[in-house]
Amino acid sequence: MGTFTRQLFLGDTLDTDKLQAGYEHGVLTLRIPIAERAKPRRISVAATTDGRREISA
């Protein structure tokens, strides 16, 4: 039986410290969560009385 190798290049948006891998019935499964810093976040925007907008993040 031969050896199969594969190399993956992962971007900065993935949390490789929490990577999980499993091998069952000949199938390799990788679970790589998205890093917290890459997840979308909600930013509130409030209007002031002088027409300027205030942004708090």
pLDDT at position 55 is 66
Tell me how far CA of residue 22 lies from CA of 13, 14, 17, 38, in angstroms.
22, 18, 16, 25
- Residue 49 in any domain: the answer is yes
pTM attached to this predicted model: 0.50
- Residue 46 in any domain: the answer is yes
- Residue 50 in any domain: the answer is yes
- Residue 7 in any domain: the answer is no
Give pLDDT tens digits along the chain (57 positions). 678 888 888 788 888 889 899 999 989 899 999 887 777 777 777 776 666 666 666
pLDDT at position 24 is 94
Count of the separate structural domains present in the chain: 1
pLDDT at position 44 is 79
pLDDT at position 35 is 83
Alpha carbon distance 25, 37 (integer Å): 35
Domain that residue 22 falls in? 16-56
- Residue 30 in any domain: the answer is yes
